[in-house]
Amino acid sequence: MHRRDFLKLMAALPLVRISWRQRPPATHHSAETQAEDIDHPNILILLFDTFSAKHASLYGYPRHTTPNLERFANRATVYHAHQASGNFTNPGTASLLTGAYPWTHRSMHLYSPIIPPYVDKNLFRALGHTQYHSVAYSHNMVAVTLIYQFLNDLDNFKKTEELCLHDGQLADQFFFNDYDLATWRERIFRGAADISSYPSSLFYFLLNGEYWQAKKEAINEQYRDRFPVGVPYHHDQIFLLEDAINWLRDNLETLPQPFVVYFHLTPPHEPYCPSKEFYGHFNDSWVPEPKPEHVFTQEHPYGELIAACQTYDEYVAFVDSEFGRLYDHLNSSSLLDNTYFLVTSDHGEMFERGIQGHLTEVLYDPVMRVPLLISAPGQQERRDVQAPTSAVDVMPTLLHLANRPIPTWCEGEILPPYQTAGTERSVFAVEAKSNAKRAPLTRATVAMVKGRYKLIHYRGYSGFDDEYELYDLEADPEELNDIYATASVASELKEELLTKLEEVNAPYS
């Protein structure tokens, strides 16, 4: 067999069963088990992808984007300086669900899995099969491939297609027992990868592209009155956010209790598709302050960034309205009397310095600071936490609240007010999608937030190596005044960051 024929054959693997070995199902709960666990609280995690705290009126944004989150905040703890661990789905989601930073779980590339030693170190396993009924869902195929690694620890891993108008992914429909392998083989087969470097089907990727475009146009036409710029979609999935919200509204109270439910919903991720109610809602005179272009500018003109920012804000307002529907239902039921309800995101979005989106080398607040609200069972008053917190804190906090032991490998801490805040700590974020997976971090951006200061370190980039920026987030929340060269605290923070990098690089040196 010639090499090219072999590669073509490998690309077709999604069309056959990759493995006949069936994965063992997660343990379901008996009536006796449920009776034993009646004192354990339910856990509901609702994650809206790409939701920047900088664009939430809850946190002082000028546009009134989040009135429903503000209502919810009246019975929740609101975290004002909560940091994602990475600036896109892989590192952000993996850190949330493992309690480890990207330099540990190593899901720090686009479409990159968690390394095997950390697959069993996840929230669902730590909560325990016999105590918690576990459910997970996502619109986002990148998040699905991460959650799939925890399949043996889930009672119900809902297929993406179940809450979609159209799911063009064959792996999701036909090869779910081998989703992780099948989905990437399918990307190659369909030419979704870089086809200059990878083989693909000679005709299928063209035919599929035509079919996908026709299907999307037909669905957009069907829902034109509700979605003027098109129905929400991501990768091969076209969906209504309302369907996922309705599923939660209609099914949460019927689940075996105690439960842990993780719903990772794609909006307000690009493309920004606000409903008719919110389209043009922020056609106002307000514009964000222009900022100088960064070394890593994508050269987006300021006017283009302003227009995209407005549509994103309208999409955030739409997402908030759907959250409001769910909150109203839960608030009128008794479910929140025994449920920790957590709302957050995996990373943010930015429209400044010539950059739009989140796939960038920079780690400024618009992409790193995300909402976090936690409502405790029966909570009726608002609490506010101003200290920096991290996505890696979510897992140890939930384990603490569920009366489960916190593993020693967790890199996070129990969040206040569930634990009294100790000495001032540092939290970290990593951007390393161009660094080798199993190697020291030599081409990466690393941010450290400690108290009021944020230190950003760039290393290994051509023409921008061993560079630092330092911001006083209290005096300069827009990160416009780099004080690295003048602040007396700079050398101390630099030494701490480099010491940490030396520590986490050691296993790969």
Q: One digit per residue, pLDDT tens: the chain, 509 residues?
A: 555 554 555 555 544 443 333 344 444 444 344 434 446 899 999 999 999 999 999 999 999 999 999 999 999 999 999 999 999 999 999 999 999 999 999 999 988 999 999 999 999 999 997 899 999 999 999 999 999 999 999 999 999 999 999 988 878 777 887 887 887 777 777 665 444 445 566 666 667 778 888 999 999 999 999 999 999 999 889 999 999 999 999 999 999 999 999 999 999 999 999 999 999 999 998 999 899 999 999 999 999 999 999 999 999 999 999 999 999 999 999 999 999 999 999 999 999 999 999 999 999 999 999 999 999 999 999 999 999 999 999 999 999 999 999 999 999 999 999 987 767 899 999 999 999 999 999 999 999 999 999 999 999 999 999 999 999 999 999 999 999 999 999 999 999 999 999 999 999 98
Take residue 450 and report the two structure tokens written for it.
């400690």
CA distance 298 to 355: 5
Rounded alpha-carbon distances, angstroms, from residue 66 to 77, 315, 324: 16, 11, 9
> Residue written as tokens 């200061």?
453
Give residue 176's pLDDT: 80
For residue 248, give the amino acid letter: L
Domain boundaries, the chain: 3-136+241-424, 434-509
**Domain 3-136+241-424 matches domain 434-509 at the CATH topology level:** no
Enumerate the H helices of 149-285 as residue ranges: 170-174, 179-190, 204-222, 241-251
Q: 421-441: b or e for each residue (b if 16 or more CB lie within 10 Å)?
A: eeeeebbbbbbbbebeeeebb
CA distance 310 to 279: 9
**Sign, Cα dihedral of 475, 479, 482, 484:** positive
Q: CB–CB of 470/493 below 8 Å?
A: yes
Rounded alpha-carbon distances, angstroms, from residue 328 to 79, 131, 137, 333, 408: 22, 28, 22, 9, 38
Q: CB–CB of 46/371 below 8 Å?
A: no
The 10s digit of each residue's pLDDT in 20-69 is 333 444 444 443 444 344 468 999 999 999 999 999 999 999 999 999 99
CA distance 221 to 227: 9
434-509 CATH, one of 3.30.1120, 1.25.40, 2.60.40, 2.60.120: 3.30.1120
The CA dihedral of 56, 477, 82, 95, to the nearest 10 degrees, is 110
In sequence order, what E strands does 118-176 have?
A: 133-138, 156-157, 166-167
User: Rg of the Cα trace of the chain?
Assistant: 23
Rounded alpha-carbon distances, angstroms, from residue 125 to 30, 69, 339, 403, 408: 18, 30, 19, 14, 15
With both helix axes pointing from N to C terminus, report the angle between 204-222 and 179-190 in degrees, rounded to the nearest 10: 100
- Non-local CB neighbours of 52 within 8 Å, separated by 6+ positions: 345, 348, 349, 350, 366, 367, 369, 370
Take residue 305 and report the two structure tokens written for it.
């960034």
CA distance 436 to 431: 12
The CATH fold assigned to 3-136+241-424 is Alkaline Phosphatase, subunit A (3.40.720)
Give residue 183's pLDDT: 78
Neighbours of 419 (CB within 10 A): 13
The 10s digit of each residue's pLDDT in 324-356 is 999 999 999 999 999 999 999 999 999 999 999
CA distance 26 to 151: 8
CA 474 from chain centre, in angstroms, equals: 26
CA distance 321 to 315: 10
